[in-house]
Amino acid sequence: MTFKFRAGATPARNGATAGYEVGMTISLRAGLAAVIAAFLGTAALAAASPAISAAIAARKANYKEIGGAFKTINDEIKSGHPDFNSVRPLAKDIAGRAALQLKHFPKGSGPESGVKTRAKAAIWKDYAGFTKLQKDMVTSANALNAAATARDLSAMTKARTALGATCKACHDKFREEG
Binding residues for ligand HEC, rule: CB under 6 A, are 56, 59-60, 63-64, 66-67, 70, 117-119, 130, 133-134, 137, 163, 166-167, 170-171, 174-175
Minimum separation from the CB atom of position 16 to ligand HEC (A): 53
Contacts of 145 (CB under 8 A, 6+ apart): 88, 91, 92, 94, 95
Report d(CA 77, CA 122) in Å as an integer. Answer: 34
Whole-number Cα distances in Å, 153 to 94, 144, 177: 18, 10, 33
Minimum separation from the CB atom of position 82 to ligand HEC (A): 17
Minimum separation from the CB atom of position 37 to ligand HEC (A): 23
Q: Which is nearer to ligand HEC, 119 or 148 (CB)?
A: 119
Minimum separation from the CB atom of position 52 to ligand HEC (A): 11
Contacts of 48 (CB under 8 A, 6+ apart): 113, 114, 115
Q: Which is nearer to ligand HEC, 20 or 58 (CB)?
A: 58
Question: Contact at 8 Å (CB) between 157 and 74?
Answer: no
Closest CA to 56 of 167, 125, 64, 166: 64
